[in-house]
Amino acid sequence: MNKNIRRTLISLAVAGATMMALPGTASAAGKITIMVGGITKMVYLPAKLAEQLGYFKEEGLDVELQSQPAGVDAENELLAGAVQAVVGFYDHSIDLQSKGKEITAIVIFGQVPGEVELVSTKASASIKSMADVKGKTLGVTGLGSSTNFLTQYLASRHGITSKEYSVLPVGADNTFIAAMKQGRIDAGMTTEPTVSQMLKTGEAKVLVDMRSVDGTVKALGGLYPASSLYVQRNWLNGHKDEAAKLARAFVKTLKFIKTHSAAEIADKMPKDYYGNNKALYVQALENSLPMYSADGKMPVGGPETVLSVLSGFNPNVKGKHIDLSKTYTNEFVNLVK
């Protein structure tokens, strides 16, 4: 199906009373479809790794992983009832609650975003920090995506509003690289392994690094729980057994990550994830290891930091009462021994 037609149909479904909930459409036959906001991104690596390790099957789950280039597209699939769960950024749960939609994160993969604001080497002479982005074009994965949220916030910390620069949705991986090579964006936010690829070729430099706790605290003022597994609240209420099994599979995956080297983890991934440059993939993964949670639990103070960031620029969230307790739960990860 034409991508634009598909997106239009999804948007119409979302607008139609949140698709009348459709809590278990695809799972009626036992399958759980999980949409990943860019399955090759290392921030979402636990999704594919869990499948590769056989942990879904160990739990008796029939899981199908699908991929969309941006988290906002994955979110739309969830709201339309096309999938039962999303692997995407936790901040969508807060943004959606402000719009009257109840989404709950049940496993936290990343205690930090794992995102990096890269500046094109050609533009690096005039862009030394986010204070220099006036009049520039900044790349994000998609409009309304978490990269868009974070870009706006980082600029706003320097008093720069979203009207003073342009935002261009360029996706991730090769489409991001092409956009920067072609000069369509001056800077942009992306993840590993794209970061390491562009640094290796010398086509980009790091402007803001949120792959580590220190870098994230410096950029955002605290821990920013990011990659996660989230579901619609109405689905969760009717599928607690499946939610517990998913949580168990993903916590086991996170423990595998914490107890194995980057090289050992890379060995478990499909060959097309690293192509002909496995060494670069391993290095990118090594750079990413600090961001992963050890237990899948929401870090203390994390939701408050995310709410503070979104409240700084997002008119949907600013000034609204957000019940953070409904945006996540540790109920299922707490069951894992």
Q: Tell me, what's the pLDDT at 10? A: 46
Please check whether residues 241 and 94 belong to one and the same domain: yes
Please check whether residues 62 and 205 belong to one and the same domain: no
**Residue 161, C-beta contacts closer than 8 angstroms, at least 6 positions apart:** 155
Residue whose C-alpha is closest to residue 191's, from 110, 121, 122: 110
Please check whether residues 10 and 68 belong to one and the same domain: yes
Residue 6 clears pLDDT 50, i.e. is over it: no
Domain count within the chain: 2
Element (H, E) at 116: strand 115-120
Domain hosting 21: range is 3-112+225-285+293-335
Assigned domain for 99 exists: yes
Could you read off the pLDDT of 192-226 as tens digits, one per residue? 999 999 999 999 999 999 999 999 999 998 899 99
Q: What percent of the chain has pLDDT over 90?
A: 80
Q: Tell me, what's the pLDDT at 71? A: 62
Please check whether residues 22 and 36 belong to one and the same domain: yes
Q: For residues 72 and 1, which has the higher predicted lDDT (pLDDT)?
A: 72
From residue 80, alpha-carbon distances to 15, 18, 25, 76, 303 in Å are: 9, 7, 11, 6, 25
Residue-averaged pLDDT of the chain: 90
Residue 170 clears pLDDT 90, i.e. is over it: yes
Assigned domain for 327 exists: yes
Assigned domain for 215 exists: no
Assigned domain for 21 exists: yes
Please check whether residues 230 and 105 belong to one and the same domain: yes
99, 29 in Cβ contact below 8 A?
A: no
Read off the pLDDT of each residue in 170-192 and give the average, rounded to a whole number: 94
Assigned domain for 218 exists: no
Q: Tell me, what's the pLDDT at 318? A: 87
Please check whether residues 126 and 161 belong to one and the same domain: yes
How sure is the predictor about 144, in pLDDT bands with cuts at 50, 70 and 90?
A: confident
Burial classification of residue 76, based on how many CB atoms lie within 10 Å of its CB (0-12 exposed, 13-18 middle, 19 or more buried): buried
Could you read off the pLDDT of 98-136 as tens digits, one per residue? 999 999 999 999 999 999 999 999 999 999 999 999 999
Q: Tell me, what's the pLDDT at 227? A: 96
Assigned domain for 29 exists: yes
Q: Tell me, what's the pLDDT at 13? A: 44
| Domain end among 210, 242, 265 | 210
Q: Where are the alpha helices (DSSP H) in the chain?
A: 3-15, 45-52, 55-58, 71-79, 91-97, 146-156, 174-181, 194-201, 213-220, 233-238, 240-258, 262-268, 278-288, 302-311
Assigned domain for 216 exists: no
Which pTM was predicted? 0.85
Please check whether residues 134 and 53 belong to one and the same domain: no
Q: For residues 314 and 227, which has the higher predicted lDDT (pLDDT)?
A: 227
Burial classification of residue 325, based on how many CB atoms lie within 10 Å of its CB (0-12 exposed, 13-18 middle, 19 or more buried): exposed
Please check whether residues 68 and 8 belong to one and the same domain: yes
The CATH number for 108's domain is 3.40.190.10
**3-state SS class at 2:** coil
Assigned domain for 91 exists: yes
Could you read off the pLDDT of 223-262 as tens digits, one per residue? 999 999 999 999 999 999 999 999 999 999 999 999 999 9
Q: For residues 28 and 38, which has the higher predicted lDDT (pLDDT)?
A: 38
| Domain end among 177, 210, 243 | 210
Please check whether residues 128 and 108 belong to one and the same domain: no
Could you read off the pLDDT of 34-79 as tens digits, one per residue? 999 889 999 999 999 999 999 999 999 999 999 987 667 788 889 9
Please check whether residues 86 and 235 belong to one and the same domain: yes
Please check whether residues 278 and 330 belong to one and the same domain: yes
How sure is the predictor about 266, in pLDDT bands with cuts at 50, 70 and 90?
A: very high
| Domain end among 210, 241, 272 | 210
| CA–CA dist 44, 294 (Å, integer) | 15
Please check whether residues 38 and 69 belong to one and the same domain: yes
